[in-house]
Amino acid sequence: MTHIPTPSGLGRRSFLRYAGQGAAVVAAGSAVPWLSACGTSDGDGAGSKGGRFSVKLAWIPNAEYAGIFVGAEDGLFTKQGLNVDILPGGPNSSVVPMVTTNRVNLGVEAIPENVATAVARGAKLKIVGAGLQKSPESWISLADRPVKTPKEIEGKKLGITLAGKNTALVFMKRNGVDVSKVKLVPIQFDPAPLAAREVDAIWGFASNQPVSLALRGVKTHVMPLADFGFNRMQSVFFVSQKTLDDPAARENARKFMAAARQGWEAALRDQKHAADVIIKKYGAKLGLKPDEQAKSLAAIAPFVSGTGTGGAGSKGLFWMSDALVQETITSLTSIGIKLDKSLFTNELLGG
């Protein structure tokens, strides 16, 4: 998920007028060509011969995929003997169908329910790694009138997206919030209603709206849902069962995961380098800003490592612990998504 930067003087009209300038970024998301980590994009993108490997992202290049881009820039995929092609995503670019039909070797989907829903309908897919150990979904309020706990939601006016409404209601009920004492106001993903003090808090992502507002001098308080019993892995890596059943394709997928893990470790160690890579390679075409990407990466880092939730521990990044798998199953089941432990496997991570 990315965001449109907000200007100073955050009245609602001025924000929305400025936000229209971000349309070029969104449009670019569906038109960016394959990004080749090495070599060219000729031949079968999903073939397993010659170490060629293709990965499909859910969104446009940004800090959310920093580890993959660092892996490409620093030659980590090449060291694994892979010729990697990275396919960016966008608002109208689906990941699951590309993996289900084996047009790409691996997908990175923003939320696990998209994969789980496809499996429930008969697709043979497996989630093989958690890019985010901790969900960045959060209630975001202004620092001078923060909403710090679920019970403090009562009596408040909350900005909520259509996509987040069901999850938000489940979260509130699970935390003993009297929903009848809460006023929900439909909003989009922009933080304008909060900045204009039209609502007391908004539903959003810790690496998104708070960063956008901070760049304009608006301080916020972030209350992650994961800190209050509602966590699920996100930015999940997944492959088809066909890939796992084919020795050559499986080995290439294992190598990709190893290099991507190394890339994320490097990105977390040197966040400035990671942000520079994103800007150098993709910033000019997509209108990305250096300070934005640096702050977004800093904000997403705790969710990659799972800080505050136990994380992956000695097993390393991407590892899906039994506890994380169960948290994910419990959270998704509560919002009506059918899944079980068979959807997840650590076999490409050495499990």
Domains observed in the chain: 51-135+232-343 (3.40.190.10), 137-227 (3.40.190.10)
Q: How many angstroms separate the Cα of 11 from the Cα of each of 17, 69, 123, 293, 295?
A: 10, 36, 46, 24, 23
242 and 37 Cβ atoms separated by less than 8 Å: no
* DSSP strands (E only) in 166-313: 183-186, 201-205, 220-224, 234-240
CB neighbours of 284 closer than 8 A, spacing ≥ 6?
none
Report the pLDDT value the prediction gives residue 45, as an integer from 0 to 100.
45
Predicted confidence at residue 210, as pLDDT, reads 96
Q: What is the pTM of this model?
A: 0.85
Q: What is the C-alpha to C-alpha distance for residues 302 and 307, in angstroms, rounded to an integer?
A: 5
Per-residue pLDDT of the chain (351 residues; tens, 9 = 90+): 333 333 333 433 333 323 333 333 333 333 444 555 543 333 344 544 458 999 999 999 999 999 999 999 999 999 999 999 999 998 888 999 999 999 999 999 999 999 999 999 999 999 999 999 999 999 999 999 999 999 999 999 999 998 889 889 999 999 999 999 999 999 988 999 999 999 999 999 999 999 999 999 999 999 999 999 999 999 999 999 999 999 999 999 999 999 999 999 999 999 999 999 999 888 768 888 899 999 999 999 999 998 665 555 668 999 999 999 999 999 999 989 999 999 999 999 986
pLDDT at 37: 56
Angstrom distance (rounded) from CA 329 to CA 116 = 10
* Model pLDDT, residue 311: 58
Cα of first residue to Cα of last residue in the chain, in angstroms, is: 29
Total residue length of the chain: 351
pLDDT of residue 50: 54
Q: State residue 27's pLDDT score.
A: 36
Distance CA 238, CA 351 (A): 15
Asked if 120 and 146 count as a contact pair (C-beta separation under 8 A), the reply is: no
Q: What is the pLDDT of residue 91?
A: 82
